[in-house]
Chain A
Amino acid sequence: MVRLITHNLLACHAKGCTTNNFPLQIKDAQLALREAEFNPDFLRGFIPRIEWAALVSAARQLGDESLPNEVPEMIDDDFLRGLHHVLLEIHIDEGAMVCPNCGHVYPISSGIPNMLLAEHEIG
């Protein structure tokens, strides 16, 4: 149940990994689509918090090309619906997330990513 909304908030938190640790690369993803309730107010409030470039590249990795490269100036309903689909309805069920800096692998199994660190990686 990793959705792109949380993927967009997630950076590597291993010891000493403080730069270039975002976004985590998605590997071998198996996707599932689950409908979610459309909430335009929430999305409007959430757009400033999104790292747009990371979201677009993650969506393209998962094979969704619907997002524009930049946030459009006019935010209309169609755009919000597209964003809603990408952010909240695409679930990564199996796969892994890999830190681009230190290479730590966070495996995802049955929708739950394993964020546990080994003793020597704890900051």
Chain B
Amino acid sequence: MAALDDVQVKEGVDQETVEAVQSVGGKYKYGFETDIEMEYAPKGLNEDIVRLISEKNNEPEWMLEWRLTAYRRWLQMEEPEWAMVDYPKIDFQDQYYYARPKSMIEKPKSLDEVDPKLLETYKKLGIPLKEQALLAGVEAPEGDRRVAVDAVFDSVSVGTTFKDELAKAGVIFCSISEAIQDHPELVRKYLGTVVPQSDNYYATLNSAVFSDGSFVYIPEGTKCPMELSTYFRINAENTGQFERTLIVAEKGSYVSYLEGCTAPQRDIAQLHAAVVELVALDDAEIKYSTVQNWFPGDEEGKGGIYNFVTKRADCRGDRSKVMWTQVETGSAVTWKYPSCILRGDDSQGEFYSIAIANNMQQADTGTKMIHLGKNTKSRIVSKGISAGKAQNTYRGLVSMHPKAQNARNYTQCDSLLIGDKCGAHTVPYIEVKNNSARVEHEATTSKVDDDQLFYCRQRGMDEEEAVALVVNGFCKDVLQALPMEFAMEAQALVAISLEGSVG
């Protein structure tokens, strides 16, 4: 009896998913463009642009210096070429590094003052910036989980919801540009301590030109009262988005953070180079979930987002825990390895990933688990799905340092192929310098087979429904690791991004 009731809950979820898939009915649905007056910095990159970005954000001198150091460093660096991705050379001088809606020049004091066109954009994207309704005294339906949102549009943060309520709990959730002005001591203490300015080509570029992003600070012993979320939207043409996210979880605190991304459908590729830094102190726990749905380019591989992202967590404190969950469906090129430095003793890192590449998409993604402390544990579950002519690579490093006594890692990499023109590659690196450490690695590659599809179709499902069902089954371990709202969205996305992949 109890067991069947349990089934009922799961049934509901799956059914809604199928409905969601059907209601969306295909193609990239976030490809629209918002017609809005923009203010751009001049095209190209030089020290003046870096100064300009800093000035636009009213930054203190130390921040400008920090950016310039990064910029000078970047000039001496070479673009990395080791990833299994192939794309035309990026002309870094042919990009805009700063674009903001004109209506955002005078920062709106509340969401009510935000340009309705911007609010409309987020509404179309299904992002709840509807705190206004709540403030106006309209009660949320019971049981409706609330999520605080920081909405980033091109280079600037449009607004952050539920700020006051979070402040009551001592939680700071604001755009990073505000944090630099309002909480400089915190930003200065942690910025660049996980991903240093000189870390890698794209991270260094980001350090020089990042325009906005989110900042989260959870005080000691606090469980963040709601999910926090940032929604990144690239709208302007030829504009790179370089956001920077910094999350600090003090001792014994907990936060779950969601990140979503979309961009208009264009036939010119756009650059996205973000940096995310997480710091977890003693007994703190951070869950970071991403549903990345940038425009993937068309069937011939024209356009789409080039996504070069550095995400890293520092489990600085003992018994701290970080869990990365990502669903990567968009982007023409993905280069991304959310990692954990397991510095504190007994700290834990987890990485759950679904990477879907269809048509001409290329994904080179994975994780790094750096075990420094004693009894540190990590778990990696990666599901790569390739369809069309796409190439999907899992690249991961598990490193057990000499002091990582009794460290443990478990890695599972599964690849699923749909059709016979796509590829899946698994590149695991394992370094063990402590004899008591244990590393397990399992990898499988399979194909969605015709018999499975025929079986589903004989029972009445159409081909796309059948593929979605089989693929969602393949991804189940990871989907279950996502927060409820995201799990739904992710399941629907899995189905949408594979449309046209069979037949």
Whether chains A and B associate is no
